[in-house]
Structure formats: C-alpha cells, structure tokens
Structure 1
Amino acid sequence: MADLPVYPPMLATSGSLPPAAEDDRWAYETKLDGQRCLGYLPGDGTVLLRARSGADITGAYPELRALRTALGTRSAVLDGEVVALDERGHSDFERLQSRMGLADHPADAARMRDRVPARLLLFDVLLLSGRPLIDRPYTERRRVLEGLELNGPHWSTPAALVGHGETALTATRAEGLEGLVCKRLDSVYTPGERSRHWVKIRHVHTLDVIVGGWVPGRGRLTGLPGALLVGVREGGVLRYVGAVGTGFGDRDRAVLGELLRVSAIDACPFTPQPEVVGARWVLPRLIGEVRYATLTRAGLLRHPSWHRLRPDLAED
C-alpha cells in the first residue's frame, strides 16, 4: 500500500436543498447509514479498507477481500460506505454494529459474515491506474467510477440523480431512508474537509455528542446506565446539552456500561456543571449520535433518543 496516497475522506455539511434555479448543477445520492470506508487497491491482488478515522478495518469484513481482484492490475482508491441491509434493502446501522470492531478478531468476523452480510456501496474514485482524480470535477469522477462497473457479490455502485432534488428528497423520505446527499457537479474532492459543495439532509434531527457522565438505572437496569449525560464542544469547553435515557437496546447498555466504568473520573467535565442528581462523571472521549425533536432556547436537546455509538469519531 506504500505506493498509494492515503486520503482522509471528504465530508458533507448539514444543510437544505440547493435553490431551484441551481438544481441542475447538483447530483443527488441516497444518504447511507453505515461505516465510511476508503478502499485501497494497489493492483497487486491485495486490498486495504480504512475507516474514516484511518483505522484498518479490512479484517472486520472478510467478504470484501474479493474486491482486491475486481480491477485486475489497475490501482485505485475508492470511497464508499460499508452497510448491512435490512429486509427492505435499506442500510441499517444497528445491524452493522455487530460487524464493527472485529478487525482483530478474524474468527468472530468470519462467523458474523454469514449472519449479517456486509456490502460496500461505492460513490467516488480518488485515484485510478496511478493517476489522482481528486482535482477533477464530480461529474468526471462519477463517470470514471461508473465505467469501472463495480457491481459484485458484496459491492455495488448506487445510482446518482442529476437534478430533480425535490423529487429525490420526497422519495427518500417516503421510503424511510436516512436522507439525501447533494453534490455539486463541478466540485473537486477535498480530502479531510467538510465542504459546502457536499450537503447532507437528514430526515430526522441528529447530533454527534460527547458523553461526559451518566446516571445509574434502577430495577433491572441496576448497575447499567439509565441515562447518558452528553455535551458538545464550544469555545474550548464541553457544554452540557442534556440527558439521553431512551433508544438503548440491552446490548447497547451493556457495552456502554463497561466503557463508562473504565472511563470514570472524579471531576465534572462540563462547563458549567449541570445539576443532575446522582451523576457519575467520565473522561469525555466517547462520541455518540442522538436523535432529537428540537433544541430548547437554553440549547438543550428536546426529546433526545440514543441512536448509536460512533467509535470512528472517538475523542483524542
């Protein structure tokens, strides 16, 4: 892999549909709910899959190793999302969670391969046959990607729609999909940048939050987190945005309980300290995604619900 440049993925900015007058200058792709993945194919019969964090996740998805021969001896760097599909064919992050974190556990990864198959959905190509493409417009990169005909047993290239953004947004909402990603046709690929030339629209409000504490549960939840105390980084401090006590499965609580126990600290990491009875504080390194109805005037989450842990975004 030494001959291939390593790219941090380009990221989208949250927003809304482009103005109607500019609709034909944008492409629209379904927003996927999985694990971002860059695939490195040096053309020597090997493949390396890297997560958004840069971590090697190849071992977690043994079925994707066959991608190594999909382009023969041509080298390539591909951008996409690893997903686990539900019975409707929609990406389902909760299903994928059982596959994540198994990169160093080949036996477990092999066993889960049949129970929860993974699929790599490709949407960009950053390099092909030794030639970088990141400075080329989206339309050219997309044309090159589709020309590769990467539609195999465990990977595919979903369609992108040029124009008709309102139709695409309505259709993804009606189908119960995560949302829409809007990409300017003339946009170059800017590694590691959260660009306004890529706009993501979610059909529910979500927020990446940092876990700074928890409140123990009661009854059958004794010893497990009853609620997580979460915040966001603002002005160099961790600002408290609320307590999240719903949306957890039994496995979620068990995993989080162990992570919280090994992260215990005495001092509150929030500024200012929230007045929460029975709060226990933790080192603010765990990041999760929550869904919520709206924000209060005080900046607190209204009706928050836990969605998922984001190990790919863990704090340093």
Structure 2
Amino acid sequence: MAGQDQVHAVLPEIQPMLATAAALPGEGYDLDWGFEVNWDGARTVAYCAGDRTVRLVSGEGEDVTRTYPELAGLGEQHGQRQAVLDGEIVVLDDRGRPDLELLRRRMGVVNPRKVARLTMDAPVHLMLFDVMYLDGRSLLPTPYRERRMLLESLDLAGPRWSTPEWSEGDVQHAWATSLHHGYEGIVGKRLASDYQPGRRSPDWIKAKHIETHDVVIGGWVEGRGDLRGLPGSLLVGVDAPDGLRFVGTVEDGLTAAERGELGEYLGALTRADSPFAGFADIPGAQWVEPRLVAEVTVSGWTTGGRLRHPTWQRLRPDLTRR
C-alpha cells in the first residue's frame, strides 16, 4: 500500500472546473463551441496512477473509490499510463437516461456488504469528458478541443465507463438530440478554453430542458436556522386514479416573503393525517388539506415518478381546490 500511495502522490490534485448556467450561443455564434450532454450525476475526478489502479474523488474532494468498486477496471484498462480524468458518475435507467434517484442510493455508502448488493441493484457508469493531466504533462493550459481529442485517443470504454460523443458548432442539433433522448440538457464549452480548476467559468455554460407543472401542496417540513417556524420544504402531489400521488419536495426558488405567506395559509389548513394515497410518513411532516396549487418548473421526472429538480415559481390562487 505504501508503494501505491507514493504513485498516487505524483499525480496533481485537480478540482473540477464548473459550468455557468446561461443562455447557449445562438445559431451563427456557436461555431467556436463544443456541446456535450449534461449528465445530471455526481461529478468525479478519476486518478489513474499508472499501476493499474484508479482513485475516485468527488467534486467535494472526498475519496469515493470504495463506494463504486465496479469502476476499478478503469485503472486496469489504463494500464501503466498516468492520467487525471474528469467525468460524471450516473446510474442509468432502462432507457439509458441518468436517474438521480437511483444514484442517491449509492452515494456515501461504504459498507462492503451493502456496496456489493448495490452494485448489482443499481450499477453506476462513469461518463468521461475531459483529461487534465497525461503521462507527466499538465493539460490545464491546453485548449478544450485538443483535450477532448486526446481523451478520445485513449479509447477508454468498458462495462461501466465510456467517453460519450460530443459535437462541434451546431447548438440546435445538440439541443434537439438531448431532448429526444430525454437528457437533462447540454453543456457548451468554448473550443479554445483552458481548464480552470475549481472555477465556475463562462467558458463552460449549461442549459436545461425545463417543464412547467401544477402541483398540489399536501404538507410541509419546517426549515432550519433562519427558516425555523417557516416551510423549509413543501410536500407536493398530482391527481391520480387512486387519489393524490406524492411526487416530491420543493425547496428551491421560494423567497422569505413567500415562505412567510405560505406559512400563514398552510397553518389554516392543518390536518392530522397525510392526504397522499398510499404514502409513508415523512419525519417532521406537517400535513394540510390539499387545496393550494402551485406552479413549479422541473427538468423532467425520475423513473420512480418523482419531480427532477423542482423549483418554485408561484402560487396559483386561480386553481385553488375546494
């Protein structure tokens, strides 16, 4: 193990570069950009030490190698070459789309027996999209287009890792393709841009496919800290043949004023039991009569029927239920 640590030590520790949420370049302005799928997973840097091992580090800097043992073969395939690779860990559904709900079952698990079971129930896949260091050479100042070509030349493809395709210059095609396949969105990267560790840069921009839905508020959970006494998250559902079906929690997008206003409304609608059909209890949940309707934006639905990345937009008093 000491020898292995020494090998790992020669590789530079590199924080992942981050994308900025912004409008994509329009047609005619996209020729200087490359486009990739926005994978909606767990950002991961893979350190291939040149001794047929790989060390995986999360975007937050935590070693997650033991959590994803099915990715060990990446080090075997890379052999004696040294590299620091950038990518995203996902769990794919039966249609080949990332499912964040399934991925969350894997995140943070280190117990060997539980990990072994989860590798069978929800195996992960590492999508590789950049290389920042290769065989003793830092590629941080190298333009993105050249880095991407170097990555493809490594021919890294295995049962649980791959180098997905990317495209140059045609933003409309990239957008339409990601929408057709049900992906979250796309990331645009300036072809001439260098790699900027730890920085959220305008040289990388991301855009999501957004849907708007009306949901019914059936409960809430008190917030923490400054939000104590106010709704920290809203428990929402949609109408289904068997009753109100729970579809997730909404936390993002609410202003302090909106939380205060909702707190007053929901306080007048308190009930003792859950209004959701066949739904298990949530710790700290305060149930309400399902009368208030809200508009939220989401990036789609999980295979489990939950909202993906719901964001509050507004209350819909015109749709209040009686």
Scaled by the length of structure 1, the TM-score of the pair is 0.71
- Listed as ranges, the gaps of 5+ residues in structure 2 are 1-7, 239-244, 250-255, 271-283, 285-307
Select the residue among 32, 53, 61 that pairs with 2:39: 32
Contact 1:40 1:76 in 2 (8 A): yes
Residue 229 of structure 1, CA deviation: 5.5
- CA separation of 1:19 and 1:192: change in aligned 2, threshold 3 A: same
Alignment of 1:109-258 (within 5 A): 109-204=115-210, 226-228=219-221, 243-246=233-236
Residue 293 of structure 1, CA deviation: 6.1
Structure 1 letter corresponding to 2:57: R
Residue 63 of structure 1, CA deviation: 0.5
Moved over 6 A (4+): 247-250, 270-273
Rounded to whole Å, the distance in 1 between the matches of 2:231 and 2:154 is 46
Q: Deviations over 1:4-26 (max 9, x none)?
A: 11111111011122132221111
Q: Is 1:294 paired with 2:313?
A: yes
Helix, strand or coil for the counterpart of 1:121?
Answer: strand
Select the residue among 18, 23, 30 that pairs with 1:11: 18
Residue 173 of structure 1, CA deviation: 1.8
Show the counterpart of 1:55: 62
Q: Deviations over 1:281-310 (max 9, x none)?
A: xxxxxxxx84136368xxxxxx9xxxxxxx
Helix, strand or coil for the counterpart of 2:88?
Answer: strand
Residue correspondences, number: 253
Rounded to whole Å, the distance in 2 between the matches of 1:112 and 1:5 is 31
Contact 1:205 1:294 in 2 (8 A): no
Alignment of 1:298-309 (within 5 A): none
Contact 1:169 1:179 in 2 (8 A): yes
Q: Deviations over 1:35-70 (max 9, x none)?
A: 111001111232110111001111111100111122
- CA separation of 1:14 and 1:205: change in aligned 2, threshold 3 A: farther
Helix, strand or coil for the counterpart of 1:246?
Answer: strand
Show the counterpart of 2:294: none
Percent of residue pairs identical: 41
- CA separation of 1:137 and 1:230: change in aligned 2, threshold 3 A: farther
Residue 172 of structure 1, CA deviation: 1.5
Helix, strand or coil for the counterpart of 2:84?
Answer: strand
Rounded to whole Å, the distance in 1 between the matches of 2:223 and 2:84 is 36
Contact 1:28 1:162 in 2 (8 A): yes
Show the counterpart of 2:5: none
Rounded to whole Å, the distance in 2 between the matches of 1:41 and 1:5 is 11
Scaled by the length of structure 2, the TM-score of the pair is 0.69
RMSD over aligned Cα, in angstroms? 3.5
Show the counterpart of 1:108: 114
Residue 3 of structure 1, CA deviation: 1.1
- CA separation of 1:128 and 1:100: change in aligned 2, threshold 3 A: same
Residue 186 of structure 1, CA deviation: 0.4
Q: Is 1:87 paired with 2:94?
A: yes
Residue 169 of structure 1, CA deviation: 0.8
Q: Is 1:67 paired with 2:74?
A: yes
Rounded to whole Å, the distance in 1 between the matches of 2:141 and 2:314 is 39
Contact 1:230 1:244 in 2 (8 A): no
Rounded to whole Å, the distance in 2 between the matches of 1:21 and 1:184 is 14
Structure 1 letter corresponding to 2:260: P
Rounded to whole Å, the distance in 1 between the matches of 2:169 and 2:125 is 27
Q: Which has the larger radius of gyration?
A: 2
- CA separation of 1:174 and 1:295: change in aligned 2, threshold 3 A: farther
Show the counterpart of 2:281: none
Show the counterpart of 1:46: 53
Structure 1 letter corresponding to 2:10: D
